[in-house]
Chains A and B, each alone.
Chain A
């Protein structure tokens, strides 16, 4: 057993017990597409890709299929009002040019899927994609795309009104997001290295991915019942990734993203223009530019979330933390489960004699002025 008289000598090893970071982490983990379902979705889309690739018409144009959106960048979040996760796929036809009509292309894709007995009952035609419904689990949205002729990962996809093609870059976006998760602020890193979660699960996500999941979840709670008004996931994801400063702690990163986002909206009188950073021609926030009321609702939501978050992160005790987290994120049972999973982590450290008290009377793992020795809470 090691005992130190000063915290400062061993600060590099000390990690404060952080119920908030643990709860947020575990909550997101419980609400994302489970690894087993993720594998199922993957095998389905590979099979769908093969079926489409064998189509006599489509096969002439070099079809490839790949995921985009939250499935591709690891930010899936279980929807509040329905059970299925969105899995967005791109069917890129590398040999086509923009002289092809997007509706006709969609019709070919739909026809090919309906020709397969397994897919036929699952097919649903949507505005700009064809959907395969895997009831209760997820749906695969297949969006056709063609190269934009620049020889890059940029593509053209059917636009919202389906009259023409519009620029996009799903692969470029995913790489950009991946790079943003790796941003490390050296100052923040130094200050927070001890705040890294003690129990890194095998499928652990980066802090930025967690921040995005939390934003989307809080959005779903606030806009429940009026989903048509809500800010798009891709817009929230882009804003979060742009404002993320590399903090290791989820709670610090989330608080800082909210603050920076608020400053950004205050500094800019008109609706924010958010573009795909890897294809500036793809304006992600076009609905704000067309509908100022929707942008005002986003601002209201941001204000609501900032107030909620201040309560969650306030030093008011773990019972208030639980209540305030539920008010922000819903799913009271999941929040409670997450809190209990956090305690299980602490208990593990306690058993291993790795739980300490710091000079200021806080619990920490790794080091402190005294280890928490074995005890038996007694009483009447």
Chain B
């Protein structure tokens, strides 16, 4: 996977081997998604704001937390995520369906060298889109790791560097 860059950001995302400090993530978030507001809780950075994947989608309030040396965690604050009638949980979540699973944790889709604004936020929008489609059709149409089997649903991930994580 490669990351494009703009002249204005070049100095900030230029050295991909170096871990991006949370303050740099914050700079990029402010520049790219100004509606996501930052609060600091000690070492923890918390961005809160609204995302609406399409003009007919619901408006979701999401919470993204990150601290240096940790991984970004995304939760949907409102509306509360709910399983479909007949399903016991929301797919592609952790922590009893409150935290979103946006990427393969053992791969390099996300690393601390990569801006949250260029990875986690777009994936959150995409996740919300597929969440609504799951409610509408009964199928998770966004591909990804199938917790109930080994088959992969989606070829898109094959462009990623780590395929077939179980």
By a beta-carbon cutoff of 8 Å, the part of chain A in contact with chain B is 1-5, 16-20, 313-319, 321-322, 336, 339-340, 343, 346-347, 350-351, 355-357, 359-363, 369-380
24 A-B pairs with CB atoms under 8 Å apart are A4-B6, A17-B53, A18-B54, A18-B55, A317-B132, A318-B54, A319-B135, A319-B136, A336-B136, A343-B133, A347-B156, A350-B126, A361-B125, A362-B54, A363-B126, A370-B121, A375-B157, A376-B107, A376-B160, A377-B143, A378-B92, A380-B89, A380-B93, A380-B101
Q: Which residues of B contact A (CB under 8 A)?
A: 1-6, 8-9, 31-36, 49-59, 89, 91-94, 101-105, 107, 109, 117-119, 121-123, 125-127, 129-130, 132-133, 135-137, 140-145, 147, 154-157, 159-160, 165
Docked complex Cα distance between A3 and B3 (Å): 9
A359 and B92 form a contact (CB under 8 A): no
User: Which residues in A have their C-beta under 8 angstroms from that of B4?
Assistant: 1-3, 371
List chain B residues, Cβ under 8 A from A361.
33, 35-36, 49-53, 121, 125
A317, A359, A370: the one contacting B135 at CB < 8 Å is A317
In the bound complex, residues from chain A placing their C-beta under 8 Å from that of B118 are 3, 370-371, 373
Q: Are A376 and B136 in contact (CB under 8 A)?
A: no
CB closest residue in chain A, given B31: A5
Residues A315 and B59 in contact, CB atoms below 8 Å apart: yes
Whether A379 contacts B31 in the complex (CB less than 8 A), given A18-B54, A361-B121, comes out as no
Nearest Cβ distance between residue A218 and chain B, in whole angstroms? 18
The distance in angstroms between the C-alpha atoms of A321 and B102, with both chains bound, is 25
Say whether, besides A339-B133, A374-B1, A375-B103, A350 and B121 are in contact (CB < 8 Å): no
Q: Contact: A369 with B33, CB < 8 Å?
A: yes
Known: A3-B6, A340-B137. A315 touches B52 (CB 8 A): yes
Write out the residue numbers on chain A whose beta carbons fall within 8 Å of the beta carbon of B159: 351, 374
Tell me how far the C-beta of A98 lies from the nearest C-beta in chain B, rounded to whole angstroms.
54
Q: Using A5-B32, A363-B126, A376-B109 as known contacts, list a sample of 13 further A-B pairs with CB atoms less than 8 Å apart, ordered by residue number in A.
A: A18-B54, A315-B56, A317-B58, A318-B135, A339-B136, A360-B52, A361-B51, A362-B51, A369-B32, A370-B118, A371-B122, A372-B125, A375-B119
- The number of A-B residue pairs with CB atoms under 8 Å apart is 190
Q: Is the CB of A5 within 8 A of B8?
A: yes
A369–B4 alpha-carbon span in the complex (Å):
11
Least CB distance, A198 to chain B, in whole angstroms: 13
**Would you call B57 and A315 a contact (CB within 8 A)?**
yes
Q: How far is the CB of A191 from chain B (nearest CB, A)?
A: 13
Contact of B132 among A319, A336, A350, A356 (CB under 8 A): A319
Minimum Cβ distance to chain B for residue A21 (Å): 10
- Assess whether A378 is in contact with B144, with CB atoms less than 8 Å apart: yes
How many Å from the CB of B140 to the closest CB on chain A? Answer: 8
Contacting pair B53 A363 (CB below 8 A): yes
Closest residue of chain B to A4 (Cβ to Cβ) is B6
Closest to A5 in B: B6
Asked whether B57 lies within 8 Å of A317 as measured between CB atoms, the reply is: yes
Q: Which residues on the A side are within 8 Å of B6 (C-beta)?
A: 3-5
On chain B, the residues within 8 Å of A377 by CB distance are 91-92, 101-103, 127, 130, 140, 142-145
Nearest-neighbor residue (CB-CB) of A22 within chain B: B54
Q: Which residues of A contact B93 (CB under 8 A)?
A: 379-380
Question: Is the beta-carbon distance between A378 and B145 smaller than 8 angstroms?
Answer: yes
**Whose C-beta in chain B lies nearest to the C-beta of A348?**
B156
Chain B residues whose CB sits within 8 angstroms of the CB of A374 once the complex forms: 1, 109, 156-157, 159-160
Q: Which 9 A-B pairs have the closest CB atoms?
A: A377-B144, A379-B101, A361-B51, A319-B135, A1-B4, A318-B132, A379-B92, A378-B101, A3-B4
Shortest distance between the CB of A235 and any CB in chain B (Å): 30
B133:A318 contact, CB within 8 angstroms: yes
Chain B residues with CB below 8 A from A17, complex form = 53-54, 129
Q: Which residues of B contact A363 (CB under 8 A)?
A: 53-54, 125-126, 129
Instruction: Check if B58 sits within 8 Å of A315, measured CB to CB.
Output: yes
Give which listed residue, A2, A319, A378, contacts B104 with CB less than 8 A. A378
State in angstroms the CA–CA spacing of A339 and B133 once bound together: 8
Residue in chain B with minimal CB distance to A335: B136
Question: A380 to B36, alpha carbons, bound, how many Å?
Answer: 28
Q: Please indicate the chain A residues that have their CB under 8 angstroms from the CB of B51 in the complex.
A: 361-362
